[in-house]
Structure 1
């Protein structure tokens, strides 16, 4: 799996006024259908070629631009290592790919900038979360969404507690005493250290967690999704003390994660994450209604795009699967709507997203049915509507 970060987003949004191809498709993690992605990508690349030809791009340039993606079509090993969705971004300077735990509808977009809307939920806490699972024999950092949980491959993480505290275990210190005793109540772990001073043991544990935290903090830099700790109760206070990631949750997943696969961890984590997600979504909806009464929120597309153009959108909430075809004139601040089946027209939601990001606004993806507005987007503004009145 490939981690999609704000840094990656910034790199993608730097591409302007040049041919850019964005491709999205669902993929399979395992089973007999894993190679179906090859067929999907082949068909989407055919559509990309047609669109680029219609836009007047030379045949040689088209072949060079799409060549890295065609190589993926022929690479059977590549399709054996997928997540739930694949996003490819191709331009004259190369290709970026993201295998992510989020399924996509098949689509291809050939524009003068990359189309990023389907990836927006991965940048927010919209059901996205992380788990750091720590046990005696393993350390795993996992990324999850509503759909499931998948391990992030991080070779820089400590291998296990034994390797970090080798001298302790070599002298028969019993880590198993940290596991919850059979029949013990949650949070009532009993710890017995054999042959070593408790202070020294705690020092070694903090060293171990410090190594873990360095990797976690660097990997999740700039992210805002919640992080859950999975492990025996005794270890959590040590991690809390060392942790530098600001979104570590007070709740934890209790138990020995060695006993669980990613799906089982997700089931436990989602019981914690889902209520937080629902509360966060409701808070945004409440803010919209409250601020709309004071002209600090809007769901009017004309006003919203004008506000975004002048950097007045603080938070833009969109349905990442929605599309509103049309053209926005930045000189007159007017919209010309297009037929909903016009795939060559500009996407007005995409335009709102790009202008919001360019002015350091926040963009949050919502499921369409949870939006409190008729249109699939709304905005919280930094200044009253009168500031952007035409």
Structure 2
């Protein structure tokens, strides 16, 4: 079980929103699958080099060298930062004249170079939804641990808040002479209230599933006092004070799979109900229009659906034969996804062929 290198931000909604807010000409996105182990990871630097060369060649056809110098300097510096020994399943590089960011991804992505007026974030969005994100909270009066889960990848939070240690009577000092078992139970409830408040600083309004671990009694106490009791998607029982991430993964993964399948099933059921209520539009053109009007509640899209396109003067979407050129969006589906999220909607990816009746994309409307 491997987490990203220190200093590289985890992919979260905050990172995603920041990337989506950046508008630059050109905005270069380079994405590729990588490998966690040798000897497969020996090929990763070669693929990065090839994609960087492709990006430079495409840029040189559309811009003068003097215009490109700041961007190319950022790109070279970013490539030099890559530590292939920390590679996960994918890599994303985002570069403009005044921005450069590298992400190690705990999910695979399709190798490609995208040159546009915004960064290509579809792969990140897809990864966040496909490799379901969740929290794993291991409860203990010794050390309560918080672990961020993204699919099969677990990364432990270690900062000023976590691991959180219970202090005071019954923990770091003796119980009062008159104390009974109910006194110690209340002390545990108070401690888990503190844990719950600390968790809120990481959740930041996101409704992510929560998996709890610990002895049954402590799990029960936490659920009594937690504002996130309704988000609990499953539990693992035992003492996990010293458990490694690799030891935790096999116990957590079945719960994660259940979370993912439940969400996909719910989305397709919601689509069927919306069809009956005539609150669905299909085809990429209709999804584009209603998304920009702010009427999109939930976008469902097949996971490998991509469409290059342009926008005409009237604001309609017109499909292009192939990507290329600043005036052509490499992927209009990516743009629709960004609009839906920016306007408070949700996005769910489904298997290829699941939306055949809707031409690969369907938008459930708010009204």
Pair in the same fold by TM > 0.5 = yes
Give the alignment partner of residue 113 of structure 1, picking from 110, 118, 143: 118
What's the counterpart of residue 252 of structure 2? 269
Aligned residue number for residue 155 of structure 2: 151
Distance 1:316 1:246, change over 3 A: farther
Cα distance per residue 1:351-389 (max 9 Å; x no partner): 322332343322223333544546332110123xxxxxx
**Partners of 2:281 and 2:287 within 8 A in 1:** yes
Flag structure 1 segments of 5+ consecutive residues without an equivalent. Answer: 174-192, 384-390
Aligned to 2:310: 327
Out of 248, 259, 265, which is 1:282 matched to? 265
| Shift in alpha-carbon separation, 1:100–1:139, aligned structure 2, 3 A | farther
Give 1:18's aligned residue. 25
Residue 332 (structure 2) aligns with: 348
In 1: Cα distance, 2:154 partner to 2:125 partner? 18
> The residue matched to 1:331 in structure 2 has which SS?
coil
Encode CA deviations 1:189-227: one digit per residue, 9 max, x unaligned: xxxx99954344334434543443344222222323211
Q: Does 1:378 align with 2:365?
A: no
User: Does the alignment pair 1:101 with 2:106?
Assistant: yes
- State the distance in 2 between where 1:208 and 1:125 align: 34
Distance 1:298 1:277, change over 3 A: same
Contact 1:326 1:337 in 2 (8 A): yes
> CA–CA distance in 2 between the matches of 1:367 and 1:261?
33
Shift of 1:235: 1.1
Q: Hey, what does 1:46 align to over in structure 2? A: 53
Stretch deviating more after TM superposition (200-209 or 46-55): 200-209
TM-score scaled to structure 1, two decimals? 0.78
CA displacement at 1:323 relative to structure 2: 1.0
Listed as ranges, the gaps of 5+ residues in structure 2 are none
CA separation of 1:27 and 1:121: change in aligned 2, threshold 3 A: same
- 3-state secondary structure, aligned to 2:159: coil
Q: Which moved more, 1:30-39 or 1:115-124?
A: 30-39
The residue aligned with 2:134 is: 129
Q: Relative to 1, partners in 2 of residues 1:367 and 1:258: Cα closer, same or farther, differing over 3 Å?
A: farther
The answer to whether residue 35 in structure 2 is matched with residue 28 in structure 1 is: yes
Summarize the Cα distance change of 1:22–1:297 in structure 2 as closer, same or farther, 3 Å threshold. same
Q: Which of the numbers 164, 167, 177 marks the counterpart of 1:165?
A: 167
CA separation of 1:320/1:62 partners in 2, compared to 1, >3 Å: closer, same or farther?
farther
Superposed displacement of residue 109, structure 1: 0.9
Q: Distance between the aligned counterparts of 1:270 and 1:249, measured in 2?
A: 15
Shift of 1:151: 1.0
Quick one: structure 1 residues 14 and 74, their matched pair in 2 at CA, closer, same or farther if it must change by over 3 Å?
closer
Match 2:79 to one of 73, 76, 79: 73
Q: Is the 8 A contact 2:146 2:162 kept in 1?
A: no
User: Hey, what's the Cα distance between the residues in 1 that align with 2:359 and 2:65?
Assistant: 39
Shift of 1:242: 3.9
Contact 2:281 2:364 in 1 (8 A): yes
Q: Structure 2 vs 1, CA of residues 93 and 204 (structure 1 numbering), >3 Å: closer, same or farther?
A: farther
Aligned residues: 357
In 1, Cα distance between the equivalents of 2:68 and 2:180?
68
Distance 1:21 1:283, change over 3 A: same
Q: How far apart are the structure 2 equivalents of 1:100 and 1:242? A: 35
- 8 Å CA contact 2:289–2:316 kept in 1: the answer is yes
For residues 148-188 of structure 1, what are the alpha-carbon distances to aligned partners after superposition, in whole Å with 9 as ceiling and x for unaligned?
Answer: 13214431333454xx3376456689xxxxxxxxxxxxxxx
| TM value normalised by structure 2 | 0.83
Paired position in structure 2 for 1:8: 15
Q: 1:66 to 1:17 in 2, by over 3 A?
A: closer
Deviation at 1:348, TM superposition (A): 2.2
